[in-house]
């Protein structure tokens, strides 16, 4: 995990149970774009969530940055980006991601707060039926209490998954 603001790490530990487990989680305080640009590692998952006090993402919402992210993803890697769905630049952000990932992007509809999550994939196409996702969501709800069913309902209502298939 790379976080530019130490206070965010402290808040994550206090409010979201971010573990202090250096064997499983390495936390670097620094600039995520610089870290990735200077890294030679590949990752299965890269989460991007960076806004300043004025809700601007800066370099984290540029085509070159998204291209660097893609270059650092494994063959089955996925990038998830938090975007502001109600902002004027939302569509441009999605287009930059689409360009960097050859069209392989799926944007979840924004929630009440206005946040929208875009997923982009490298490697082989991902294709899973909404029915399979619902089965997996029910299992997660039963086993760990995580209820993703409302998210799947929002996906269906937004007609994001044509033909009942989630494809990235």
**pLDDT tens digits for range 47-96:** 998 877 677 788 999 999 999 999 999 999 999 999 987 778 889 999 99
pTM of the model: 0.84
Three-state SS sequence of the chain: CEECCHHHHHHHHHHHCCCCCCCCCCCEECCHHHHHHCCCCCEEEEEECCCCCCCCCHHHHCHHHHHHHHHCEEEEEEEEEEEECCCCCHHHHHHHHHHHCCCCEEECCCCCCCEEEEEEECCCCCEEEHHHHHHHHHHHHHHHCCCCHHHHHHHHHCCCCHHHEEEC
Tell me the domain boundaries of the chain: 31-124, 126-168
Q: Looking at the domain 31-124, which fold is it? A: Rossmann fold (3.40.50)
Q: 93-111 pLDDT, tens per residue?
A: 999 999 999 999 999 877 7
């Amino acid at each position: 995990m790379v976080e530019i603001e130490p206070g965010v790490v402290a808040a994550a530990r206090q409010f979201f149970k971010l573990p202090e487990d250096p064997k499983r989680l390495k936390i670097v305080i620094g600039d995520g774009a610089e870290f990735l640009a200077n890294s030679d590692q590949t990752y299965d998952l890269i989460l991007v969530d960076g806004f300043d006090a004025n809700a601007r993402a800066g370099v984290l919402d540029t085509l070159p940055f998204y291209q660097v992210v893609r270059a650092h993803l494994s063959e089955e890697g996925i990038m998830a980006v938090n975007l502001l769905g109600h902002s004027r630049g939302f569509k441009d952000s999605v287009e930059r991601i689409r360009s960097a990932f050859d069209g392989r992007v799926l944007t979840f509809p924004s929630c009440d707060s206005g946040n929208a999550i875009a997923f982009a994939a490298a490697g082989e196409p991902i294709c899973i039926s909404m029915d399979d996702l619902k089965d997996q969501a029910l299992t997660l709800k039963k086993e760990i209490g995580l209820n993703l069913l409302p998210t799947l309902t929002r996906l269906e209502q937004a007609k994001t998954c044509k033909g009942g298939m989630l494809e990235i």
